[in-house]
Amino acid sequence: MTGLGAITPIGNDVATTWENAKNGVSGAGPITHFDASKFKTQFACEVKNFDGNALFDRKKVRTLDLYAQYALAAARQAVEDSKIEEDPNVNRDRIGVIVAAGIGGLHTFEEEAGYYALNEDKGPKFNPFFIPKMIADIASGHISMEYGYHGPNFGTVSACASSNNAIIDAFNLIRLGKADAIVTGGAEAAIFPAGVGGFNSMHALSTRNDSPATASRPFSKSRDGFVMGEGSVVLVLEELEHALARGARIYAEVAGGGLSADAYHLTATHPDGLGAILAMRNALEDANLNPEDIDYINVHGTSTPVGDISEMKAIMEVFGDHVYNLNISSTKSMTGHLLGATGALEAMFSVKAVQDDVVPPTINHEDGDEDENIDYRINFTFNKMQQRPVRAALSNSFGFGGHNATVIVKKFEK
């Protein structure tokens, strides 16, 4: 990892996002993107103070759904941070872009569908940018066009595992010698009526409208669903010798990735975490690491009654007694759930944990708010960050459809 960029509910750059995560700052508040007063859930973790018109020219903005605006803004940060564009020998044919979205341009789809419904008597009339703004791969296209990167270019879609899939795809293509560097990550902007209403109808979202900042409470007995988030995190992943040759700063090393399927249910995780177990074991094998080599797990930890328990069952199965030596935390307690962008955000938090030897907290846990199905001898890093050596960190992402993706990062040693 040689470059990091972030547009998140707790900061519009990496430094602010990481500082707020360490300090347990919640990004939740009343929804401002639309009037949510008649919805069961009226709050979310929105990006704040983001103005696409200040970042892109007027013609460009017309072609960009909000999710793609977030992606391109985060990509600019990551590429600048990596300094890869300062290399006079950069080969753009060997640089790719793989940026994920679980949904893509939902706001664009809503606007166009609504316009058609209002004008159906006059015949169909759609914006010519409707399709290229909406599709879930277009963020990758915009980034590649911005920099003239001609390497592998696509988007991955596996619901909430999407951006972990993107990182793993980038990792594997570089290992195969198909690229020197890949700009990768995820973006999402689904805090609009269809997104909130759809998840409400599934009873997936917290309805704690009286206290948005404390609504996301993973591993607490009183958890009642996840809090929607939005934004983008983009990372520059680079082949080692290529990075060393140009004197790049290396944040951490991607050690391995694991993939699996629950093959169980449309939306629910397997109750015993069978797919999660396989993904984590595959990642450890790919990284040539033992469970005892992991110091921190950034869990999927969405704050849903069933999901948190199944993930902990899986972790206990994979890590055995070492689970009591780990630090575990769910940063979704602060950022909410960024859907297709969540894996990239949590991979970034894992990279920063490895770099700084700091574990960010799981906030909103109160004394006595304990679930009899969860082993609280495990260190969930409740409410306050913890400093400790972090040699390697594992990050889990699981998605509707039974998609599981695990990424492992570790300290870089020359």
Catalytic residue among 33, 270, 300, 365: 300
CA pair distance 45, 282, nearest whole angstrom: 32
Catalytic residue among 45, 142, 160, 270: 160
Q: How many Å separate Cα 379 from the centre of its chain?
A: 23
Q: How many Å separate Cα 311 from the centre of its chain?
A: 17
Catalytic residue among 107, 337, 365, 403: 337
Band (119; pLDDT cuts 50, 70, 90):
low
Cβ proximity of 160 and 400 under 8 Å: yes
Cβ proximity of 172 and 256 under 8 Å: no
Provide the mean pLDDT of the chain. 96
What one-character-per-residue DSSP string does 47-77 give? --S--HHHHS-HHHHTT--HHHHHHHHHHHH
Average pLDDT over residues 188-194: 97
What one-character-per-residue DSSP string does 347-410 give? HHHHHHHHHHTEE--B----TT---TTS-TTSB--BSS-EE---SEEEEEEEETTTEEEEEEEE
- 160 noted as active-site residue: yes
Q: What is the pLDDT of residue 155?
A: 98
Pairing between strand 296-298 and 392-399?
A: parallel
Q: How many Å separate Cα 51 from the centre of its chain?
A: 21
Query: Is residue 114 predicted with pLDDT exceeding 80?
Result: no
Q: What is the percent of the chain with per-residue pLDDT over 90, rounded to a whole number? A: 94
Cβ proximity of 229 and 336 under 8 Å: yes
- 337 noted as active-site residue: yes
Average pLDDT over residues 374-389: 97
CA pair distance 116, 113, nearest whole angstrom: 5
pTM listed for this prediction:
0.97
